[in-house]
Amino acid sequence: MAHNQLAEKLDQVSEQELGFEFDDAEVWTKLEHRLDNRKAYTFWWVAAACLLVGFIFLPLSILKETTLEKSTTITQVEKTEKSLPGNEEVKIADANSIQKEKTVAINFPGLRKKGLEPPETIEISSQKLLLEPIAVSKPKKKYKPAFAAEDISVIQASLEGPSIEKRKSITVRAQLQSFPDQVKSNQKVLKIKLYEKH
């Protein structure tokens, strides 16, 4: 314990030899209070640490899941052939063609109100919808008009229906085209193109 006489003597000092009245009970009361506080502090520290870990790792795990979902292989999803709601009728014009043209008869009450004759048939180009990974930037396709238009009205609207994938919206661009050189001069063709909205 003590390496010399001096140390031995000093280490074995009794309460009476301290030279003053040492109130060890008072020190113990303070010590006990500190030890009790430590228990309470430990609980709160543990709780706070758990919360902190939760706050750190929860967003990370969510982010990881999202990244995994997005980095999965490209899946091709074909639009299912379903009838449009209401009085709309869809016919496949040429099933063998690459563009998959569809002929659709649609009532457009808005056009009638404007004094325009609704078309008897419309052509919808059916495209395959591709799910692409976000990182890959796909060059935008430019659709050239396949006709020369003189009087063109452009109608823009968003469609949501059973033929469209969930969480996907498609912009419809309709162009009303008139052909003055044709026999039936009052006949007009409305061409509608679907654009996948990004």
Interface ranges with another protein (CB under 8 A): 1-7, 9-15, 17-20, 22, 24, 27-28, 30-32, 34-35, 38
* Comparison of 9 and 70: residue with beta carbon closer to another protein: 9
Tell me how far, at minimum, the Cβ of 24 lies from another protein, in Å: 4
Instruction: At 162, list the tokens.
Output: 């059973």
Which residues does 59 contact at the CB level (< 8 Å), separation at least 6?
Answer: none
Tell me how far, at minimum, the Cβ of 134 lies from another protein, in Å: 52
Query: From its phi and psi, is residue 98 left (phi > 0), alpha (psi between -120 and 50) or beta?
Result: alpha
Where helices occur in 3-134 by DSSP H, the ranges are 5-11, 24-70, 109-113
* Comparison of 13 and 50: residue with beta carbon closer to another protein: 13
Instruction: At 137, list the tokens.
Output: 């930037």
Tell me how far, at minimum, the Cβ of 47 lies from another protein, in Å: 19
Compute the chain's Rg from CA coordinates. Answer: 40
Which residues does 71 contact at the CB level (< 8 Å), separation at least 6?
Answer: 133, 135
* Comparison of 20 and 44: residue with beta carbon closer to another protein: 20
Task: Give the C-alpha separation, 187 to 177, whole Å.
Answer: 9
* Comparison of 1 and 183: residue with beta carbon closer to another protein: 1
* Comparison of 27 and 47: residue with beta carbon closer to another protein: 27
Tell me how far, at minimum, the Cβ of 69 lies from another protein, in Å: 46
Tell me how far, at minimum, the Cβ of 52 lies from another protein, in Å: 23
Provide the 3-class DSSP secondary structure of residue 54. helix
